[in-house]
Amino acid sequence: MAQAEQHRLDLGDEDLQTRAERETAYWIERAREITGVSARRLPVPAVAFDLRGRSAGQAIFARRSRDCRIRINAALLDSHPQEMLAETVPHEVAHVVIYRLYGRRAKPHGREWKALMRAFGVDPAPCHTLPTEPVRQLKRFRYECACDEDAWLTSIRHKRAQKGTDYVCRRCGQKLRLVDGGVSELT
């Protein structure tokens, strides 16, 4: 793989989403240069800004068509544009490139992916370190069994239990019973 040249990010006045799409095209072009792969085999993926929650980015692969697309967290892009453009976009592009070259044989953050990230001149860290807020807060409901400690079920499992699904304690094997007034917020 070719040695990476330093890529400068100048945010300027450009819309961040447009800039992220342009950065995606830039990193795909760099990957073509590094790997020697044609534009036909390595097209620029579509970029969507619909990712929410704690994830900064996500590469999506369609199994049959082998089409790829990238999802970016728009809230994180707005709050941390420098990090998102310099780290997350090349991270997700590397996933797309490795998938297009090796298919599902390559591990998501495996040897090939790390080598491409190094060739890009970007730290091959599997996770971002940006501060995030959870998308939703789940309520927890207190349940009891024969054990000394209570069990806590999220609102999803609590609703299932109310509709007839039985949950049992992993320690004693006894069916869990709802404790009245046992509600807590879970982040």
What are the residue numbers of the active site?
92
Q: 153's torsion region: left (phi>0), alpha (psi -120 to 50) or beta?
A: beta
Q: Which two tokens stand for residue 155?
A: 């609102």
Q: State the Cα–Cα distance between residues 47 and 70, nearest whole angstrom.
A: 5
Which of 69, 117, 111, 72 minimizes the C-alpha distance to 91?
117
Q: Which two tokens mark 35?
A: 């790997």
Q: Please report how many Cα atoms fall inside a 13 Å half-sphere around the Cα of residue 128, on the Cβ side.
A: 25
| Integer Cα distance of 151 and 144 in angstroms | 6
Phi then psi dihedrals of residue 9, to 5 deg: -110, 120
Sheet holding 151-154, edge to edge: 151-154, 138-144, 177-186
